[in-house]
Amino acid sequence: MKILSIQSAVAHGHVGNSAAVFPLQRIGVDVLPVYTVTFSNHTGYGAWRGPMIDPSDVREVITGIEERDVMPQIDAVLSGYQGGEGIADVIIDAVARVKAANPNAVYACDPVMGNAKSGCFVAPAIPDLLRDRVVPVADIITPNQFELGYLTDTEPDTLESTLASVDAAMAIGPSTVLVTSVERPDRDEGTIEMLAVDARGAWLVTTPHLALKANGSGDVTAALFTAHYVATGDAKLALERTVSSVFDLLQMTLDAGDRELRLIEAQEFYANPRMQFTARQVR
């Protein structure tokens, strides 16, 4: 499998492509990383150095890949944090080029814009661009509950309202939705859930809620789910594999007391997930 991954990169820590590429490689995926920014560290530190990459330069890199006649081999395009607003057009164009060369390819969009605790943390124009232009051309989206609400102008909180919001998102264009953090008021105390929905049904998996803020965990989640889903076509299995791997990555990070993901140390959990969580069908 080949995945064209258009995301940010950092030198220190693991977010964007710096979080997504290695886990994908560890499960046997050939990744073509294209960078939208090159920062010293993620922006959660409050200070960072390095450039946002001009959209024209990002486009040039993709054109160079196309000139090597690689597009027909690409099975999926993956995008995450977009940096400047001009990147949206580049991503949309890249998806069109890949799909023209390989009609079976899919586009997975992680619509990174914020979370319920922090609100939006991207440039002001990005959320509307994602909602109005990028998500409609996506086959898979992986929002958290906050991002799902923004994309659909809804307020998902219960399982029922979250499923309704997913339906609204799928009406925009995507055929598969992974909600990466479902926090409904009637869930068991000390737990968090993840929800995967496609045309075959909806599956919910529950895990303990680990007490840490781990930048980049959503990027790992989106990458692994995309690869597993494209490989198997099975949303339940892709969800279970992804949750198993990411939970063990987070547990290792928490145990280490580290602010940055223990991405390398947790590599066996990607290659051989323990499958300690079972998803249940909720629709």
pLDDT at 61: 98
Q: Name the burial class of residue 51, with classes exposed (0-12), middle (13-18) and buried (19+) by CB atoms within 10 angstroms of its CB.
A: exposed
Dihedral, 57, 49, 123, 56 alpha carbons, nearest 10 = -10
Helices (H), 27-70: 55-67
- Return the bridge partners of 60, or none: none
CA distance 35 to 238: 26
Going from N- to C-terminal start, the domains of the chain cover 2-281
CA distance 84 to 103: 28
pLDDT at 121: 64
CA distance 114 to 120: 4
- Give how far the C-alpha of residue 226 lies from the chain's centroid of Cα atoms, to the nearest Å: 8
Beta 106-109 vs 140-141: how paired, if at all? parallel
CA distance 263 to 261: 5
- Site of tokens 């995926």: 29
pLDDT at 158: 94
Q: Are 246 and 221 in contact (CB under 8 A)?
A: yes
CATH number of 2-281: 3.40.1190.20
- Site of tokens 């809804």: 154
pLDDT at 120: 60
Q: Residue 281 corresponds to which amino acid?
A: Q
Side-chain half-sphere exposure of 234, counting CA atoms within 13 A:
9
CA distance 1 to 230: 9
- Quick one: tokens of 166? 């997913």
How many CB atoms are located within 10 Å of the residue 123 CB?
Answer: 14
DSSP state of 213: -
pLDDT at 113: 81
The pLDDT tens digits along the chain (283 residues) read 999 999 999 999 999 999 999 999 999 999 999 999 999 999 889 999 999 999 999 999 999 999 999 999 999 999 998 777 899 999 999 999 999 999 999 999 999 886 656 566 666 667 888 889 999 999 999 999 999 999 999 999 999 999 999 999 999 999 999 999 999 998 999 999 999 999 999 999 999 999 898 899 999 999 999 999 999 999 999 999 999 999 999 999 999 999 999 999 999 999 999 999 999 999 9
